Structures are given as C-alpha cells and as structure tokens.
Structure 1
C-alpha cells in the first residue's frame, strides 16, 4: 500500500449502529430491560431514540412513523445487517440463560467465536424486530 492510499485517520472503534424497528416502546423496553442499555439522545423529530451500550450507541429508528419514513427500507422486511456484536463483561452462562428466558428471549446459538478482543463465548439472540445480536464475553484465550 502506498502512502497516498492510506486513510487520513485512524480507527478508534465502533461508535454506533442504526437498527430499524417498528415499535419504539417495545424496542426501548428490550434494549433497556433485557440488555441493560442506558437512555441516550432522543430525536423524536426523526423517529429516533438512542441507547448507550457501554461507550457506543445503538440507534433505534422507527421507520413506521411519519418522522422516520425517510429510513424505510426499499424492500419491506429486507435485511440491511447480519448482526451486531455487543462486547460484554464476564458473565455466568447459567445466569445469562436464566435472564434471557425470564424475558422470553430465545437463544438462537451459543458459540465460542473470535472477535476484536479475541476468542470469547457468545450468545446469539434476536431483538423483537428480528435483528440478530451477538452478546460476546471477554476473551477466554
């Protein structure tokens, strides 16, 4: 790679991810009660709410409201994202399973996968709108 093709910046990390939702009340309840996200910035004029996920934001965009129609996907129900990986602190696997079950959240997959922090244990779940989330613990090696 030559010097002229290098980016004029360095990467810092994930800042935010925008997820399309169809019911903001259900979305906010899931992200706050199930995942423990904290309320972030609110942009009702755009049909948008943000929640803090550690030091990054998850932006919830309700495209069914007049204010959010600008974000409507070209194909209703079409995928615009495979999954978002959320880095977690150490957790007890049985407690995680019990917590998700208590909120009627099905575990789609449990796995040991690599990521930015190394190989760690992951739980894959779907939010109420079908967005796949990888809940990933710290590296085990």
Structure 2
C-alpha cells in the first residue's frame, strides 16, 4: 500500500483538553502556578480555555450541567498520559523554588529529547492528577541553550 503525504503540514500543538471537577481550582493552578492567561470561555459548556504560549489548554468541568459529555468513560480512569509544555529558557533553581512556594511537587526530573531537541524536563501534577511535563529549550552538550 502506498501512502501519500497528507494535504496539510503540522505546525504544533493547538490544544489539549483536561477534564476537571473544580473550575476555580483549575484556573488557580493554570493561571497562578503556570502563568497561563485566559483564552476563550464557553460558560454553557462549563469550559474555559487558557493560553499556554501559542497553544490552548481546555479545562472542561464534568460537574457542570454542560459538561456531561466530558465525563471519562471509566470512572477515575485517565484520558491522557501527560502533556509537554515547551518553555523559554529557565533557571532550574528558580523553577524549583516557584513550584515549592506553590505547594506543587516535582516528582521527576529528566534530560531527554522532545520536539525542540534534548533538554531538561520537570514533571508535576495539576490538582486533578493530570501529568504535566515542563520542558526547557534544547541544550548543547556543553549546557548552552540552543
């Protein structure tokens, strides 16, 4: 079977949807801890979107009457393993300090590849158990940012 190229090109992550059960807590985390800014709002659906750079994180409240379709098919089941948020260059100690002050635990740090190359990653959870990877820019072997 011959597969032809799709009639489009990929530009990057547009959005990811997280199912939440407390919109205020979700917005407090994504705005206060991660620095996202308010995007589009769909109050009839119980949905808020926040800007994460050029991409959106959609927060859909399954406890809202408009969010009934958002309920995961398996109670308590995961619907996403994690999302990776690309960051600007960052001071690792300042990030650790910021997350500590926000009572957000870093449960893993790693140095591995991503869309922008090899770089340092910090893994955290939002208040709903969603895993988030914060990934700095690629680094040369001598540690310089690309």
TM range (shorter): over 0.9
Partner in structure 2 of residue 63 of structure 1: 62
Aligned equivalents of 1:77, 1:50: Cα separation in 2: 23
Aligned residues: 140
Per the normalisation by structure 1, the TM-score is: 0.96
Question: In the TM superposition, what are the counterparts of 1:1-141 in structure 2 within 5 Å?
Answer: 2=2, 5-141=4-140
- Consecutive unaligned residues of structure 2, counting only runs of 5 or more, are 141-146
Distance in 1 (CA, whole Å) between partners of 2:59 and 2:23 is 7
Matches of 1:56 and 1:28 in 2, distance apart? Answer: 16
Cα distance in 2, alignment partners of residues 102 and 15 from structure 1: 30
TM-score, structure 2 as length reference: 0.93
Superposed displacement of residue 8, structure 1: 1.4
The runs of 5 or more residues in structure 1 that have no matched partner are: none
Tell me how far 1:25 sits from its aligned partner. 0.1
Cα shift at 1:47? 0.8
Map Cα deviations across residues 66-97 of structure 1 (whole Å, 9 max, x no partner): 11011111111101111000000111111111
The 1-side partners of 2:86 and 2:11 are apart by 15
Moved beyond 3 Å, runs of 4+: none
Which whole-Å CA distance do the structure 1 matches of 2:68 and 2:28 have between them?
22
Q: CA RMSD in A?
A: 1.1
Distance in structure 2 (CA, Å) of the matches to 1:81 and 1:116: 19
Shift of 1:6: 2.2
Residue of structure 1 equivalent to 2:143: none
